[in-house]
A = this chain, B = another copy of it.
Amino acid sequence: MPSVEAKDIFSGHIKEKGLRNTRQREIILDAFLSSKKHITVEDLFNIVKKKHPEIGYATVHRNLKLMCESGLAEEIKIGTSKAKYELKYGHEHHDHLICLNCGTFIEVNDEKIEKLQDKLAEQKDFQPVRHKLEIFGFCNKCR
């Protein structure tokens, strides 16, 4: 059950930082872990709100940020649109193909490209930490 491990990452971070476990935090975390990929703060807020209307937007936002800090989640921003969050733990690094028409995200990974990137950085005497590759175009439905 990977979500148990995922939870451990989060609670480990909480403990490490001297933060506290709260009912809201647990609810928001569970909702995030059982949600679909690429969720926005608003999306998650709306899901949480159904069963827990007392939980505020700011709390959802704060906890998504905290999940990113813990390494559990990752924030994705494309252009000006709102930030989306995806589960990072147990989820290999990948890049995105983004449809210019329907906005679909397709996740891809290519070991060769990754290696070439490192090589490229090295040539410029640059120490790479992370990267972001987005390929925009049209998916098979929108061609």
A residues sitting closer than 8 Å to B (CB atoms) are: 77, 79-80, 97, 99-100, 106, 108, 110, 112-113, 116-117, 120-121, 123-140, 143
Q: In the assembled complex, which residues on chain B have CB atoms less than 8 Å from the CB atom of A136? A: 128-132
Residues A117 and B126 in contact, CB atoms below 8 Å apart:
no
Quick one: given A79-B77, A110-B116, A113-B113, are A132 and B129 in contact (CB under 8 Å)?
A: no
Residues B113 and A126 in contact, CB atoms below 8 Å apart:
no
Q: Could you name 9 residue pairs across A and B whose Cβ atoms are closer than 8 Å?
A: A110-B120, A121-B137, A126-B137, A128-B136, A129-B137, A130-B136, A131-B136, A132-B133, A132-B136
Would you list the 10 A-B pairs with minimal beta carbon distance, nearest first?
Answer: A128-B137, A125-B140, A129-B137, A131-B135, A127-B138, A127-B137, A133-B133, A97-B126, A132-B134, A113-B116
Q: Which of B108, B132, B143 sits near A127, CB closer than 8 Å?
A: B143
Residues B126 and A106 in contact, CB atoms below 8 Å apart:
yes
Residue of B nearest to A117 (CB): B135
Q: In the assembled complex, which residues on chain B have CB atoms less than 8 Å from the CB atom of A132? A: 132-134, 136
A78 to chain B, nearest CB (A): 9
A31 to chain B, nearest CB (A): 25
Question: In the bound complex, what is the Cα–Cα distance between A112 and B118 (angstroms)?
Answer: 13
Residue of B nearest to A129 (CB): B137
With contacts A127-B143, A133-B133 known, what are 10 further pairs, Cβ within 8 A? Answer: A108-B120, A108-B123, A110-B120, A121-B135, A127-B137, A128-B137, A130-B136, A130-B137, A132-B133, A132-B136
